[in-house]
Structure 1
Amino acid sequence: MNLATNVRIVLVEPAGALNVGAIARVMKNMGLYQLVLVNPQCDPLGEEARRMAVHGGEVLEGATRFENLPEALEGCQRAIATTARDRHVPLTLETPKQVLPWCLEGSPTALIFGPEYRGLSNQELNYAQRFLGIPSNPEYPSLNLAQAVAVCVYELYQLSQNNLAVPPQTTEAARLEDIEGYYQHLESTLLKIGYLQPHTATARMAKFRRLYNRASLSHDEVALLRGILRQVEWAIKPQAGDAE
């Protein structure tokens, strides 16, 4: 499996140019080149970033930028979010050794890192299917952004060299943008039939996301689920000849 073409490192609102440069360098060290920046809060091509990148300048120059996380994930079939904080959300945290082999099964995968000052929000975590936490000293568990990326890409490189990847799935995994389209369709339909209420929709939909993310939906399964929603919408739509 080619790390360079299948694994995307996504930085959400990175604030430190030095961190971005250091990340570009370690990505080059470990054979990764797809760096994605979501609404960066620094200059990723400035002098500080280039100084830290050293020979990883081509990773910086090739980085793509997006305004929001859903756009940054387009084309991926899997997403892993990194988090360390207790956000009162029932997430199953996995170590790098547990979850990163999932990146090597052949499906385009994004590894998402949050801003230095806050980490990923609950809303941003909703876009991932699995969640990675790096075990560290409980007396000082917080890792610098560049250090967290370095731990993960090192583990990925070692896995790829040792051929420890799980055999690829035989069915085509759904793209993340198709799954997101299903979630939007589901929320709209559930609001129409009164199952969801506007003031509780966000919390309820987060539960649905966690449920479906555990299922690792295929392309055909997403199409099946959307077909059900279209039929529900047809059933509740007033038909010609219905009484006023």
Structure 2
Amino acid sequence: MGLARIKIILVEPAGPLNLGSIARVMKNFGLSDLILVNPQCDRTSFEALKMAVHAKEILENAVIVNTLPEALQGCVRAIATIGRDYDGQLPLENPRNALPWLLEEPEKPVALIFGREDRGLTNQEINYAQKLVFIPTNPEYSSLNLATAVSICCYELSQLAENFVTEKIPTTEIAPLDVVEPYYQELESLLLSIGYLYPHTAASRMEKFRHLYNRAHLQTTEVAMLRGILKQVQWAIKNHSQIENL
């Protein structure tokens, strides 16, 4: 049941052979929900279907979206995989330590994000994730094939799920990522307008805000409250002169 909630998200996959191999390994280890963000190849091409073997239905049922936020709609947790130097705020974890966190969410969809074959994920795309996974490899040849990286993570998830027991604790309505994202956009716009943020440093500052709120595990009602505060601040700024004359 835990694996059924996990979305495997591929950002701009370009190789049909990789796509087919990924579908096959997903079925090998009990995953089935594949989402393709702006794919650069045909998921139903001869090469993809040939590599998928008996997992063709995973390719045929794959959901295609234009952007990563669309792929994450409804998800409350997301881990991004990274295979390059990273100087951001999130710690890099290996799959065995990080992936149990996805299984801890008992009911809502969660996501595991993989980047492009040639250059991985952009910094902006990384910011949509709450955790980062790095697969340790031989430093003399550290580059991993996309399908291989997916295989390692799917294997780890299947092994973890066999013995994973979710504690019955009171559940709260953790806000899906697509509910939190508009708040980040509104917050950035407001902070730019009042001069707290500057355009050339906004991305790095907002990354810190994202990490702060991610640690808080915001509930849907809390996001609504925060957005209400922003709207009231915007109203107060717009009506500043009227307020002073009261």
Q: What is the aligned partner in structure 1 of residue 54 from structure 2?
A: 55
TM-score by length of 1: 0.93
The AA in structure 1 aligned to 2:90 is L
Structure 1 residues 149, 133: closer, same or farther in 2, change over 3 A?
same
Q: What is the aligned partner in structure 1 of residue 3 from structure 2?
A: 3
Following superposition, the deviation at residue 208 of structure 1 comes to 1.4
| Alpha-carbon distance between aligned partners in 2 of 1:23 and 1:32, rounded to the nearest angstrom | 10
Q: What is the aligned partner in structure 2 of residue 138 from structure 1?
A: 139
- Indicate the larger mover: 77-86 or 188-197: 188-197
Q: Contact between 1:101 and 1:164, CA under 8 Å: does it hold in 2?
A: no
Q: Contact between 1:159 and 1:165, CA under 8 Å: does it hold in 2?
A: no
**Structure 2, unaligned runs of 5 or more:** none
Q: What is the aligned partner in structure 2 of residue 80 from structure 1?
A: 79
| Alpha-carbon distance between aligned partners in 2 of 1:101 and 1:167, rounded to the nearest angstrom | 16
Following superposition, the deviation at residue 168 of structure 1 comes to 6.1
Q: What is the aligned partner in structure 1 of residue 223 from structure 2?
A: 222
**Deviation by residue 1:166-196 (Cα, 9 ceiling, x = unmatched):** 6666212111111111100101111222212
Q: What is the aligned partner in structure 2 of residue 89 from structure 1?
A: 88
- Indicate the larger mover: 19-28 or 70-79: 70-79
TM-score by length of 2: 0.92
Q: What is the aligned partner in structure 1 of residue 14 from structure 2?
A: 15
| Alpha-carbon distance between aligned partners in 2 of 1:132 and 1:87, rounded to the nearest angstrom | 11
Q: Contact between 2:89 and 2:208, CA under 8 Å: does it hold in 1?
A: no
Structure 1 residues 65, 92: closer, same or farther in 2, change over 3 A?
same
Find the residue that maps to 2:42 and give its secondary structure: coil
The AA in structure 1 aligned to 2:145 is N
Structure 1 residues 84, 167: closer, same or farther in 2, change over 3 A?
farther
Structure 1 residues 92, 141: closer, same or farther in 2, change over 3 A?
same
| Alpha-carbon distance between aligned partners in 1 of 2:31 and 2:50, rounded to the nearest angstrom | 19
Find the residue that maps to 1:85 and give its secondary structure: coil
CA RMSD, Structure 1 to Structure 2 (Å): 1.9
Alignment of 1:35-50 (within 5 A): 35-50=34-49
Q: What is the aligned partner in structure 2 of residue 102 from structure 1?
A: 101
- Indicate the larger mover: 123-132 or 220-229: 220-229
- Indicate the larger mover: 189-198 or 145-154: 189-198
**Deviation by residue 1:123-165 (Cα, 9 ceiling, x = unmatched):** 1101111111112222222211001001111111111111255
**Structure 1, unaligned runs of 5 or more:** none
Q: What is the aligned partner in structure 2 of residue 64 from structure 1?
A: 63
Following superposition, the deviation at residue 98 of structure 1 comes to 1.2
Structure 1 residues 223, 134: closer, same or farther in 2, change over 3 A?
same
Following superposition, the deviation at residue 90 of structure 1 comes to 2.8
| Alpha-carbon distance between aligned partners in 2 of 1:43 and 1:116, rounded to the nearest angstrom | 15
Could you list the structure 1 runs, at least 4 aligned residues long, displaced by more than 4 angstroms after superposition: 164-169, 239-244
Find the residue that maps to 2:99 and give its secondary structure: helix
**Deviation by residue 1:44-71 (Cα, 9 ceiling, x = unmatched):** 1100000100001000000010111111
**Deviation by residue 1:183-240 (Cα, 9 ceiling, x = unmatched):** 0010111122221222322222122122222322222221222222122112212268
Q: What is the aligned partner in structure 2 of residue 32 from structure 1?
A: 31
Structure 1 residues 19, 167: closer, same or farther in 2, change over 3 A?
farther
- Indicate the larger mover: 58-67 or 162-171: 162-171
The AA in structure 2 aligned to 1:100 is L
